[in-house]
């Protein structure tokens, strides 16, 4: 949907800025980058922070010229990030019109994509109430947002058989039942969830190998095919499980492993980089 919307706006010669709250999601967007990198959101955020964008910067000019900003997986970020971006956009856009100082995001159209049934802001040692208070719908900005909901499962409309369509529909309804909290729970709010048999790994000597074979069939011979890693992923509930899966998959691949460390500070050279990338010239 974001790709279609971006293509439609850009076909009119207008500018669309695509960002996401995490790196993996940003890779799926045309010309996408992370919100922190694009908007220079402080890594240590609080209710008084502003983004590190000055009015005379090239980045500020790019934000002024943008006709649409799409922010995917937005709901997993702390509300202070949106509030900092809101204050920054108001300051940037008041150069165009002083009235923009009183408009949400300086009068710029911003689409926040996400699902509250999925990942909410991750806060260390937080209670459910703390997480709810950190969500964007607890911010004053939410009053200015118009909520649009997707109601049709597009996978059921494609070229599928009646049997496969019924399977997809049953799975979609099962996921929604969990996400909406419609499972029968006890007085402590806990419930027993029945997982369909076809989603479980059959008893075997090496369950992890069976999982890898299911998600990435013949991974050794397809290691050069980047699409298998773009279209599929193994999700895990804890970082320990993630590390276990990563180490196992790496042990199957021949060659020497090379480790790249991520940066925990904004790159200085990125300040003058065109946030539209190739999309500014195409």
Q: Tokens at residue 87, please?
A: 């204050």
Do residues 18 and 2 touch, judged by C-beta distance below 8 A? Answer: yes
Local confidence band at 276 (pLDDT 50, 70, 90 cut-offs): very low
Q: Tokens at residue 131, please?
A: 């997480």
Examine the domain organization and report whether 133 and 245 are in the same domain: no
Examine the domain organization and report whether 145 and 25 are in the same domain: yes
pTM check: above 0.85: no
pLDDT at 173: 84
pLDDT at 167: 81
The reply to whether 51 falls in a domain is: yes
Examine the domain organization and report whether 120 and 248 are in the same domain: no
Backbone angles phi, psi at 72, to 5 degrees: -85, 155
Beta-carbon count within 10 A of 138 CB = 12
Examine the domain organization and report whether 121 and 174 are in the same domain: no
Examine the domain organization and report whether 11 and 144 are in the same domain: yes
Examine the domain organization and report whether 52 and 145 are in the same domain: yes
Examine the domain organization and report whether 142 and 170 are in the same domain: no
How large a percentage of the chain has pLDDT more than 70? 90
Local confidence band at 138 (pLDDT 50, 70, 90 cut-offs): very high
Lowest mean pLDDT among 155-164, 171-180, 221-230: 155-164
- Please tell me which residue, 160 or 15, carries the higher pLDDT value: 15
Could you read off the pLDDT of 210-262 as tens digits, one per residue? 999 989 888 888 888 878 877 888 988 888 999 999 999 888 888 887 888 87
Could you read off the pLDDT of 48-72 as tens digits, one per residue? 999 999 888 899 999 999 999 999 9
What's the chain's length in residues? 282
- In the block, residue with structure tokens 């709250």: 21
Beta-carbon count within 10 A of 258 CB = 5
Strand partners, 20: 34, 72
What is d(CA 50, CA 46) in angstroms, rounded to the nearest whole number?
Answer: 9
The reply to whether 29 falls in a domain is: yes
What is d(CA 215, CA 234) in angstroms, rounded to the nearest whole number?
Answer: 7
Examine the domain organization and report whether 179 and 103 are in the same domain: no
Structurally, how many domains does the chain consist of? 3
Q: With residue 211 as reference, give the H or E element that holds it.
A: helix 207-215
Could you read off the pLDDT of 16-34 as tens digits, one per residue? 999 999 888 898 899 999 9
Expressed as residue numbers, the domain containing 139 is: 2-151
- Domain with 21 in it: what CATH number? 3.40.50
pLDDT at 280: 36
The reply to whether 280 falls in a domain is: no
Examine the domain organization and report whether 136 and 174 are in the same domain: no
Examine the domain organization and report whether 36 and 113 are in the same domain: yes
Examine the domain organization and report whether 84 and 212 are in the same domain: no
């Amino acid at each position: 949907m974001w790709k279609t919307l971006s293509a439609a706006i850009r076909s009119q010669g207008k500018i669309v800025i695509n960002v996401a709250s995490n790196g993996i999601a940003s890779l799926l967007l045309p010309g996408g980058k992370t919100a922190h990198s694009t908007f220079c959101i402080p890594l240590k955020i609080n209710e008084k922070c502003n983004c590190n964008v000055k009015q005379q910067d090239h980045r500020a000019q790019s934000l002024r010229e943008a006709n649409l900003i799409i922010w995917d997986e937005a709901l997993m970020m702390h509300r202070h990030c949106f509030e900092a971006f809101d204050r920054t956009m108001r300051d940037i856009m008041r150069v165009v019109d002083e009235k923009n100082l009183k408009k949400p995001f300086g009068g710029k159209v911003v689409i926040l994509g996400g699902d509250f049934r999925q990942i909410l802001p991750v806060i260390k040692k937080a209670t459910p109430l703390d997480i709810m208070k950190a969500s964007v719908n607890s911010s004053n900005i939410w009053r200015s947002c118009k909520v649009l909901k997707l109601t049709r499962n597009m996978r059921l409309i494609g070229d599928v058989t009646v049997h496969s369509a019924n399977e997809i529909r049953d799975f979609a309804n099962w996921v929604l039942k969990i996400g909406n909290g419609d499972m029968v729970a006890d007085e402590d709010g806990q419930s027993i969830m029945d997982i369909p048999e076809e989603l479980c790994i059959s008893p075997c000597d090496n369950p992890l190998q069976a999982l890898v074979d299911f998600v990435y069939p013949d991974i050794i011979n397809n290691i050069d095919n980047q699409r298998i890693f773009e279209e599929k992923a193994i999700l895990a509930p804890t970082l320990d499980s993630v590390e276990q899966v990563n180490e196992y998959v790496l042990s199957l691949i021949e060659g020497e492993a090379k480790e790249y460390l991520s940066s925990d500070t904004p790159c200085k050279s990125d300040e003058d980089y065109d946030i539209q990338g190739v999309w500014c010239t195409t």
